[in-house]
Structures are given as C-alpha cells and as structure tokens.
Amino acid sequence: MNGASASAPGKFVILGEHAVVYGKPAVAVAINRRFYIRARRNDDFRINGESTDLRFNPHIRYIAGRNDMIPVSVHMDSKIPTGSGLGSSAALSVAFSAAMRVLCGRSMGREEIAKEAFEAECYCQGRGSPMDTSASANGGGVALNAPDAGGSHLWDIDRDGVSWSVSGIDVPPMTFVIGCTGIKAATGPLVERVRKYKDGNRFASDIVEEIGQVTLEGIDALRAGDAECLGRLMTKDHKLLSILGVSSNELNKMVNASLPHAYGAKLTGAGGGGCMVALTDQPDIVCEAISSRGGFPFVVKTGVEGVKASAKNE
C-alpha cells in the first residue's frame, strides 16, 4: 500500500478528568470535530510538505517507531483546537495509528489503535489515562471504570499499576455547549501538578476520591436522562477540579456566566485554560454568555463515528 487517509474525532469530558488518571471512573464523548491525516510512503519523513525532525513530533515518532519506522509524508488538517482539552493530540495519535496500519497492512482493530495511541500519549505527556484515545477510537460515548454504566465492554488497559475497563455507552440526546478560552495549556504539566498535590496531601487525595463518587452518580443521571441531576454534578465537579488547582479565572468566568441558563457547567479536559462545557436547553443564551466573557462557544454534536481509515494510493 502506498497511501492511506484517516480521521478521528476530538472529545469532551462530562465528568472525571484528572481522577481517571488514578483509575477513578470517567465519562467522555466524541465530538463532531475531527483530525484528518493523509500519509504516503516517502524517502524521508515530511509533515505538510516540510522535511521534519521527528524529535519535534513525538506522536509521529512514537507511532512510526511501532511501524518499522517506514518514512512517510504526512498531511494533517485538524478542526480540533490544540491544547484546549478537546483531545486534539489523542485524535492525532489515533488517526496516525490507523493510517500507518492501513499503509503497513496491519489489523485495523479499534482496540489496537486505542492502545497504541494511548502509549503514544504517555510517551509524549508522561502520565495519563486512556480516556481520550478510547473516545477518539471508538466514537460515541465511553465510560471508564464504571461497572454500572451499561453499554458494551470495549477493552481493558493496564499501565503503571493502574487498570481501566472501557465501555461504549449511549449518550441520551442532551445539548452541550463548549466554550473555548483560547488559552492553550499542555496536559502533561497539569497532570503532574495534580499528581504532586495528591501524593503530598491527604486533602487533595480525598478530592480525587470525591470526583470519582460524583462521576459515578453522574453516570447514573446520564443513563436516566436526568439533565438536572447531571448538571448539578458537573458543577460540583468543577468546584472539586478548582480545588485541585486546574481551573483558571477565564474558565470560572465562563462557567459562572453560563450557570443561570444551564443545568450545570464545568471545565473539560486538563484545564489551566482550554475549554469548559455547559449542559443546557438554552444553547443560544449560553453561547452569548460565554462570548460576553471573551470565550469562543459552539454547540457540540455527539453520537459521532470513531476512527475511520482507508487505503488511498497516490
């Protein structure tokens, strides 16, 4: 095979980010913003036409390394804002893993792709959970370590003594508005900050436990289609994440501006900037509220397909 193209969606987290790194439950949903990749065999590695030093592209480097380091020319185009908590790097890893599998004639199983992309994420950001890569590979909604979430068991992943059981779940029709602060924040240092706080402080590790509890209750509310209860728990989760130190003034302003018109709102993803999400049945008013605080809102579409790839000879 000479060429391949692939795409994979970004995601937002309804509940459980950061705590999921330590094996607590979480629920994330793929969104209608995708990362697109075209790859073809070449004499050297190129990204968007430019000869590239793979030290500066660790996701590409890691996944190429798992595919015999076959040199490829890669074209990338993404509709997912980077460094914004919407799983852009996970979608890149998932899409590139799928493209390389097509190129090398390897199995296209979503499980293998999710696992390879998770390893790439850990290689690049240090510690993490397989939440983003699982949501991106599978599409739809995924719940981790939530035995009562219903849905279908997808795969189990173990790393550094932590185990995650991942299921695909149905997300009832609910309206979520994402608000981007426009401020980029890398995931790795935020995860590391929470780890240090949690390891050195009993109070912080209790907060991580509490996020796990709130998430389990939220998953019950999601299954029951109870937007009021789910929203209340999202707002509570935002407060817990703020105590862990991963919110920001911009995120708090946008969350607070949304709340009078929403069932609940919280930061989503690693935080420190990036995005928040509100659950509402008044999306236009929430979008205005987010814009009035300097944010960039959009209504998200859920129920989207996971990774897709096909052979494309060039």
Which residues of this chain interact with ligand PMV, rule CB under 6 A?
17-18, 20-21, 85-87, 128-129, 131-132, 187, 191, 269-270, 274
Q: How far is the CB of 86 from ligand PMV (least distance, A)?
A: 6
Q: Rounded distance, CA 260 to CA 245, Å?
A: 24
**Could you identify the residue written with the tokens 């849905």?**
151
Q: How far is the CB of 291 from ligand PMV (least distance, A)?
A: 22
Q: How far is the CB of 245 from ligand PMV (least distance, A)?
A: 12
The answer for residues whose C-beta is within 8 angstroms of residue 284's C-beta and 6 or more apart is: none
Of the candidates 53, 68, 132, 220, the residue annotated as catalytic is 132
Q: How far is the CB of 51 from ligand PMV (least distance, A)?
A: 28
Q: How far is the CB of 308 from ligand PMV (least distance, A)?
A: 20
Six-digit token pair at 90?
């996970």
Nearer to ligand PMV, 17 or 250 (CB): 17
Nearer to ligand PMV, 191 or 277 (CB): 191
Among candidate residues 290, 228, 296, the one with its CA nearest the CA of residue 264? 228
Mark whether 132 is an active-site residue.
yes
Q: Rounded distance, CA 232 to CA 243, Å?
A: 17
Nearer to ligand PMV, 31 or 191 (CB): 191
Rg, Å, the chain Cα set: 19
User: How far are the Cα atoms of 10, 120, 257, 286, 288 from residue 291, in angstroms, in the given order?
Assistant: 22, 35, 10, 9, 5
The answer for residues whose C-beta is within 8 angstroms of residue 182's C-beta and 6 or more apart is: 294, 295, 296
- Determine contact, residues 114/138, Cβ cutoff 8 Å: yes
Nearer to ligand PMV, 7 or 129 (CB): 129
- H helices within 126-186, ranges in order? 131-138
Nearer to ligand PMV, 187 or 258 (CB): 187
Q: Looking at the annotation, which residues are catalytic?
A: 132
